[in-house]
A = this chain, B = another copy of it.
Amino acid sequence: MPRQVDYDSRRRQIVAAAFALISERGLEGVTMRDVAARAGVSVGAVQRSFPSKEEMMVATVEDMNERVSARVQGRIAGSADPDSAATMLQHTLAGIMPHDEPTLAESRVWLAFAAHAAVTPALAAVQRKQYEGLAELVALLLRTAQAAGDVRSDIDTDQEAGALIALTDGLNMQILMGRHTPDSALATLDRRLAALRPAE
């Protein structure tokens, strides 16, 4: 029963199953058997694609990171005013926050891995790298918006980028905990962004 399916697509299928299970039950609720069942394949097939569970998990983190990045990219590209750095900034940060069930699932997975990374240095390094890219993007957008006069010039863009990302992450958590709705969290973020504009 050899090569009848494309390997990449099977790996994606398995990762998608792992992703769904993590979002529903957390990291500890994921077993190889469950992943195989959810993906509609046998455990052996999963083992063929991922020699160990850890490799499967790593692929799942990467998939999650790519999902978020792709979504943010998409929002930026599809934005009404793609040339405005201020608009791109709003789309970037708002794009990270969940607003429907698929993105809520994404956030749950993100939180699960974040918690895991706190006690797993190898994972922490991966996450830190992802954040570094985001922080640089946000800082760049802030600087560009600053040059366009859309952001106050007395703002340290690197510091502000860190603060905005922290706020976004915190809002993210509060949404998952049910202390914020996606709408109210987005409103808080927008209020914060509005405060960056120069006084008229």
Contacts and interface: CB of A to CB of B under 8 A. Distances in A.
A167 B167 contact: yes
B169 A173 contact: yes
A8 to B, nearest CB: 29
A142 to B, nearest CB: 15
Interface residues of A, number: 47
Looking at chain A's contact residues, the main secondary structure is helix
A45 to B, nearest CB: 26
Contacts of A173: 114, 166, 169-170, 173
Contacts of A132: 179
Contact of A166 (B124, B127, B174): B174
Contacts of A180: 162, 166
Interface in A119-162: 119-120, 124, 127-128, 131-132, 135, 159, 162
A192 B69 CA distance: 28
Contacts of A185: 166
Contacts of A191: 159, 163
A24 interface: yes
A119 B25 contact: yes
A174 to B, nearest CB: 6
A28 to B, nearest CB: 5
A128 B176 CA distance: 10
Interface string A11-35: 0000000000001111111000000
A133 to B, nearest CB: 12
A108 interface: yes
